[in-house]
Structure 1
């Protein structure tokens, strides 16, 4: 029998080895692909066409100078995927010959970025072609559209048409040339490292068996986590969507790492890739000193703009230490990998504590938090990683037997506490603070005997650590005091006051969240949620409290907070109550996020209590709340996905998943014996969450998406010689942040506080203060009309700057991909200028002097 088992293992290992080789060959083939150079037409995406549907044809005449291989079009999929067939044709306007024809599935169309339609055959240029776009499939719900520019129109004869009827605008497109083969050996190597790690796991499962392998991984989880962290950092891996810049800046140009090695970039996370990440990268040009001269093109405090300042206050942000020690590329890897791996390990450890050291419950709870859609779409939620880690440290400080252990844990608690306090985002800090405080109370009460045994010298070390924490916080707040004062005096978000209201719908978005990696919504981040199974955890908490006669303090506290948060997320608080509890700083949607965390804690604790006491729960107690949960989850999924009556396969998949969740909860709570079956049900729940979460992960290498572009190299060259010259980016706030990341002091970068130096020049009477006294992204357009400001949306400002006023605010360099002959003529009317760069659809102008005739 042993020999038979041995041969089976050998056979399985051979099969795995063969599959590994085949997968490696497949990875090599898809990695070394063919690409084309993209030459942007220079039109900015401002307005969408009508939705593409069967019987509609969008056409536009395009003159293409020089041979080419195809065309790229700027689609909006409205955050959906459907299987419509999109047909793109180019017809020679003179001869009527179809020179290019390609039909692709809608699932291959990129959202809010260029989609390439190219072939190896070279098409003759120097002609006018009619571009035709159509679909032969009727799509349910929202339809694909094409982005157009309705402002930069120099020739109305080339406006696009729908079924022959002229429209106001021109299509945003790019010409594809130089279709060539690429050898991306670096990407292949990184992918094979991940494949090798998976191979090692599978081989371990086969050789020693699943049970022993899983126990080994659990027991050695801290060492494994450190090893994985080091591997990722050495490879410079991060989880940023920085690859989105490849869709805006010279698409296809740069190194092999301009796009992710695994996963897809997420345009919806623009606060990360288009704001936070470029800001971080600007700090290196100041050597992480006190002041930053790049953001907004003026001197500001580095810690306020970038969060990076090499000083004592940097102790508050451990995940940023990599920037100071190793530079931007590895620093960025540390910034992403450290908190994520820390959250995985410490969330498991936290649930290991509250679930009575049950390994299966610990893994289930940890996965439900660390790989939840909420964490994966917001990515590295700081209050979770540092908060849960601090709780674990506090627990072991109370219960550790040796003094040296407590002396090590005390400064860790101090640094984690400082990090939590200095998040400076009350919308998360206030509701999570109540939760964490409640858990600390439970830890003290439940470990009271050990708490009383803490020695005086251990308390002295702890007190010294708390003083250490206070010193970090005080210095940090002092360094950021100017920013805090300015942001509190803004119209948005400084004057925002919340009293709660209906946001309980978010508790039922957990089923839809599972499908977000496969079928996106309009805002995956905002709609994402932990798998809460709401209201089951609260019902089961009541059941367990009654059975235990209120002796479980953790359940008492968590249920009490859940009730309070539920009230806030339904009817809200009176204003005086909201102010007294600090919930006036908490939008109701953010309170719902924390209510989700409470449900996970309650769920794991209730499962532990029921298993520990061998309660056999009446199925009605489980089925009724689950039916309520499934029904409202189904309704919410139909809303976020805009599902029509027919619904399609997605609707059935949502119903099926809701049923699976119901079956899992029945097995977990209602089956008295059969622990193995319960464990399988729990691991199935964890597996569903894990697969959904890991599928949404973007795996990126380094910062090549920015710095390997030809444009970046030129900007860096210019700024190395003239670091004080001020820049503007025309007609885009995204690319303005790109310029800043390259070291260009750019005036129209994101204003996290108002740029009063600018507005005192342009609007000395503060007539339009309402438009710019706020956090805002800034679009800048040059005009011959008087300078004026428009508020496009709550956090988006349009500055229409008079050509002559550019000289007033000190503009020296203009970057543009929306330039044309008319723009050059108007610019020449006002300025003596030079063109420093003109390549791949981008141009950089240097303003030498304002012409006397222009004054």
Structure 2
């Protein structure tokens, strides 16, 4: 037994000692093999024509519900390779078939200095699409895994087992995995945690040339965080990092290592550089920012908190999501996903350490304050003036749940590490039984549609039981290795099966339809505008993956001047002034009609008279029907190619 323990410890020490080398090797091998977690194999199902090289999925299940990734973000990234005015432009003419800011919205790779703040996009600039996609996926996951481990080592007194547990629970949390490639969540967690480590290092550094480098690193991480541009998560996570920063400052500030006359200019200089960089980007993208803020959707929304109590406990049922239908009870797995936080055990343990053990620890107090503050916004409606003053009015309470889970997990681990007088085991056991039972009943009553079989109830009961045992092991400091392995298993069951392991991008670029579109787009050097007719989302984004400028691909913000040509009275402006996936259908004559489906504010249906093709300057059409019935003296259609049920037409218009 002793020899086995020594071998285990030895392996752990080797992994720790060579952790960076291991990460680099894993990253390089993953890139060489073109591995990612993308669900782009879904394209084969929607196109309905098999690719020549198969779907590329090696393990797991592609997720149709993650269409923001495989049907929008990934095609937009690929479109940058084939832009007619040079690879990776800041302003693309492929997207929307008009000058489109590719950097500030959806954060696509651009060959410009601004991309320094988007390091996970660098792979697209260096490699072909398959390895660029792998760089994006694997780089972000490995970075989150490692930076979380390093912060865990710092926060939890260099206890490797707790740092490993924290890193696994955060990196493989359902909310991270279900939202992995969208809205910059991983970037926020990576660069926010990096800022904390840089600040702690700065406070402990004597040499000013190193302090200057750290300050520049701080400015860079700040820019990476800011440019995510997703306030519903940025703001609450910003509060988490602020409360952690307060605790770190209280812990690390040392008079003999801090000189106001020297350190303030260093910090201000770094902030000045950051401000100049951000100001330059904002100026460059100002028109885009203004347009997005003035859309009818998403536009400028306001919230006042409350109504998200149930979701604070969703960590207990995340194990169900990868193995069930994505939609249930008017919600879906993505909206229900959360951090594996053990909420509210962090608050309970923290209060015990603060009140019963009388530990006046600055980090503990700051973490408790932050957890209660953010929890209050999720649970209770706030006065409008308070919500706006704290900027949380920009955040749906359901989105703030992520931040509560994140800070709750850190609070639980930190409070347990510094605790010295845990309560009696019998009392804790009784409380634990009532907690597990109460949580199970609460979850079942709140969302019965999720529990359609007894095995689902049993699975959540097991997770709750295991979670309480792990918290007990943590608090009483029994076997830290058992705690770490238990957390790893728990994290794997919750998150490792969410995204597939996918190889390459041949599922797209060996598809006969995509190849036919590419050939037609190349025939006029990608000069002619396209529309996708009578085919809905996601197929509206097929042409952009070949560099074909497409009017009705997903419009991340509206081309108002274009639609106003078809809507001279402006009666439809609220309908098309939004982020939309556009379904376009031709008719013989009449007026153009714009319509938003009531259940989908991000969809737009346009019924377009054939004569208006000239108004829009359309040169090519991808459709699934014969367009000859819409011909007139002024509009003719020339069939250029047919692949299965799909047809590609050239449009010929006359005065």
TM-score, normalised by the number of residues in structure 2 = 0.91
| Residue 445 of structure 1, CA deviation | 1.2
Are residues 701 and 635 of structure 1, via their aligned partners in 2, closer, same or farther at CA, if it must alter by over 3 Å? same
- Please tell me whether residue 728 in structure 1 is matched to residue 512 in structure 2: no
Work out the CA distance in 2 between the residues paired with 1:219 and 1:634.
45
What is residue 215 of structure 1 aligned with on the other side? 13
| Residue 411 of structure 1, CA deviation | 2.5
- Please tell me whether residue 749 in structure 1 is matched to residue 549 in structure 2: no
Residue 35 of structure 2: which of 212, 232, 237 is its match?
237
- Larger fraction in helix: 2
1:636-661 Cα deviation digits (max 9, x unpaired): 357657156x7332222222222222
3-state SS in 1 of match to 2:53: coil
Work out the CA distance in 2 between the residues paired with 1:781 and 1:616.
68
Are residues 619 and 538 of structure 1, via their aligned partners in 2, closer, same or farther at CA, if it must alter by over 3 Å? farther
Greater RCO (Cα-Cα under 8 Å, separation 6 or more): 2
Work out the CA distance in 1 between the residues paired with 2:440 and 2:315.
7
- Which has the higher Rg, Structure 1 or Structure 2? 1
| Residue 838 of structure 1, CA deviation | 1.0
Residue 310 of structure 2: which of 496, 501, 505 is its match?
505
Residue 593 of structure 2: which of 784, 788, 791 is its match?
788
Are residues 239 and 472 of structure 1, via their aligned partners in 2, closer, same or farther at CA, if it must alter by over 3 Å? farther
Work out the CA distance in 2 between the residues paired with 1:319 and 1:449.
35
1:589-629 Cα deviation digits (max 9, x unpaired): 1111111111111111122112xx25345553575366335
- Please tell me whether residue 292 in structure 1 is matched to residue 92 in structure 2: yes
Work out the CA distance in 2 between the residues paired with 1:357 and 1:234.
34
Q: Determine if contact 2:637/2:650 at 8 Å carries over to the other structure.
A: yes
Residue 422 of structure 2: which of 615, 623, 626 is its match?
615
What is residue 334 of structure 1 aligned with on the other side? 135
Aligned length: 638
Residue 668 of structure 1: which of 467, 470, 474 is its match?
474
3-state SS in 2 of match to 1:303: coil
What is residue 284 of structure 2 aligned with on the other side? 479
- Please tell me whether residue 839 in structure 1 is matched to residue 636 in structure 2: no
- Please tell me whether residue 370 in structure 1 is matched to residue 148 in structure 2: no
Q: Determine if contact 1:313/1:473 at 8 Å carries over to the other structure.
A: no
Q: Determine if contact 1:279/1:305 at 8 Å carries over to the other structure.
A: no
Q: Determine if contact 2:307/2:397 at 8 Å carries over to the other structure.
A: yes
- Please tell me whether residue 276 in structure 1 is matched to residue 85 in structure 2: no
Are residues 549 and 679 of structure 1, via their aligned partners in 2, closer, same or farther at CA, if it must alter by over 3 Å? same
What is residue 151 of structure 1 aligned with on the other side? none
Structure 1 segment 414-429 matched on structure 2, within 5 A: 414-429=219-234
TM-score, normalised by the number of residues in structure 1 = 0.71
Work out the CA distance in 2 between the residues paired with 1:597 and 1:848.
57
Are residues 616 and 625 of structure 1, via their aligned partners in 2, closer, same or farther at CA, if it must alter by over 3 Å? closer
Are residues 630 and 742 of structure 1, via their aligned partners in 2, closer, same or farther at CA, if it must alter by over 3 Å? farther
Are residues 262 and 406 of structure 1, via their aligned partners in 2, closer, same or farther at CA, if it must alter by over 3 Å? farther
Q: Is the deviation greater in 653-662 or in 419-428?
A: 653-662
3-state SS in 2 of match to 1:209: helix
3-state SS in 2 of match to 1:242: coil
What is residue 323 of structure 1 aligned with on the other side? 124
- Larger fraction in strand: 1
1:315-341 Cα deviation digits (max 9, x unpaired): 211111222233433222222222211
Q: Determine if contact 1:533/1:626 at 8 Å carries over to the other structure.
A: no
Q: Determine if contact 2:583/2:603 at 8 Å carries over to the other structure.
A: yes
Q: Determine if contact 1:316/1:415 at 8 Å carries over to the other structure.
A: yes
Work out the CA distance in 1 between the residues paired with 2:424 and 2:581.
54
What is residue 194 of structure 2 aligned with on the other side? 389
| Residue 632 of structure 1, CA deviation | 3.1
3-state SS in 2 of match to 1:836: strand
Are residues 360 and 637 of structure 1, via their aligned partners in 2, closer, same or farther at CA, if it must alter by over 3 Å? farther
Please list every run of 5 or more consecutive structure 1 residues that lacks an aligned counterpart in the other structure: 6-204
Please list every run of 5 or more consecutive structure 2 residues that lacks an aligned counterpart in the other structure: none
What is residue 544 of structure 1 aligned with on the other side? 353
| Residue 484 of structure 1, CA deviation | 0.9
1:566-588 Cα deviation digits (max 9, x unpaired): 22112221111111111111111
Are residues 653 and 291 of structure 1, via their aligned partners in 2, closer, same or farther at CA, if it must alter by over 3 Å? closer
What is residue 564 of structure 2 aligned with on the other side? 760
